[in-house]
């Protein structure tokens, strides 16, 4: 994950967080990093503090024990801590991570430094770099040799790095499939879902809709597409309307 660690500080907002954490890395104070899940908070802390012990705020007993034994500690899922006011951070270097909101009173009382990680969709400088990184990973993991051209519109940022990585892997896999592999995938799908009294009609759209959609994108003309498909224009119009593609 070396490239991912380098990528995550390319946006100005995250670079500023990184500088702040670096300046206070040897101070015995408590800092907290707040942001959406999978936005890269843990990756950033791992880059800066690879050897610090970690404990989840969900595990009350483990957290209590860690605070007694350790002078420096990373606390993840801090928003899940049941009794945060009872935590003793005195003379300790604490780095907390919160995936959800934390009581402002707790923030003021317990933390000297508060950092807010923007979601990935607000960090365009990093989206392209992470996309390239995940695509290289996908090609290695899936043993894909051919070039993959990703459609940016199909990249999913809803869950930040998690959904971006999943969408890159998914697109890489889909583009690498041979026709026979797609046929086997459809066969398996039909084997699991084929039932009822109108199964042929209900499942026909799985074949027709992507065919028509791809044809429109490629030829941009209903007249041309009708000729390529070998059907008359009225039939094509009817099918386009049926699949809400007109």
175-209 pLDDT, tens digit per residue, is 999 999 999 989 998 888 888 888 888 888 888 99
Question: Which residues are within 8 A (CB) of 67 and not within 5 positions of it... i.e. 6 or more apart?
Answer: 73, 87, 88, 89, 92
CA atoms within 13 A on the CB side of 65: 8
What is the reported pLDDT for 1?
A: 44
For residue 71, how far is the Cα from the chain centroid?
A: 33
- Residue 53 CA: distances (Å) to CA of 75, 182, 184: 9, 46, 47
What is the reported pLDDT for 9?
A: 65
Which residues in the chain show pLDDT less than 70? Answer: 1-9
Phi then psi for residue 120, to 5 deg, are: -60, -35
CB 95 within 8 A of CB 31: yes
Rounded Cα distance, 25 and 22, in Å = 5
Residue 126: CB atoms within 10 A of its CB come to 23
Tell me the pTM.
0.80
Q: Evaluate the CA torsion angle 69, 73, 75, 76 in order and state its sign.
A: negative
215-238 in b/e form (b: 16+ CB < 10 A) is bbeeeeebeebbeeeeeeeeebee
Helical packing angle, 12-23 and 41-48, nearest 10°? 40
Helices then strands, each counted (H, E), the chain = 11, 5
Torsion of CA 161, 166, 167, 170, to 10 degrees: 160
Tokens 């995940």 sit at which residue? 134
């Amino acid at each position: 994950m070396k490239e991912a660690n380098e990528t995550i500080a390319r946006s100005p907002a995250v670079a500023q967080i990184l500088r702040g954490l670096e300046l206070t890395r040897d101070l015995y104070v408590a800092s907290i990093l707040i942001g959406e899940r999978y936005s890269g908070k843990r990756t950033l802390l791992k880059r800066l503090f690879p050897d610090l012990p970690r404990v989840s705020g969900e595990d009350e007993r483990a957290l209590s024990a860690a605070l007694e034994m350790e002078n420096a500690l990373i606390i993840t899922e801090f928003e899940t801590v049941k009794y945060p006011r009872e935590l003793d951070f005195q003379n300790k270097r604490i780095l907390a991570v919160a995936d959800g909101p934390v009581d402002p009173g707790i923030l003021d009382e317990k933390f000297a430094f508060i950092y807010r990680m923007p979601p990935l969709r607000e960090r365009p400088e990093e989206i392209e770099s992470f996309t390239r990184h995940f695509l290289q990973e996908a090609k290695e993991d899936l043993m894909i040799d051919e070039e993959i051209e990703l459609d940016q519109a199909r990249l999913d940022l809803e869950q930040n790095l998690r959904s971006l990585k999943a969408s890159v892997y998914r697109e890489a896999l889909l583009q690498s499939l041979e026709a026979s592999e797609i046929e086997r995938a459809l066969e398996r799908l039909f084997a699991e879902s084929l039932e009822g009294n109108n199964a042929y009609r209900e499942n026909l759209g799985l074949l027709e809709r992507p065919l028509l959609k791809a044809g429109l994108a490629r030829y941009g003309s209903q007249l041309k597409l009708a000729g390529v498909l070998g059907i008359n224009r009225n039939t094509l119009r009817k099918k386009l309307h049926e699949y809400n593609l007109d």
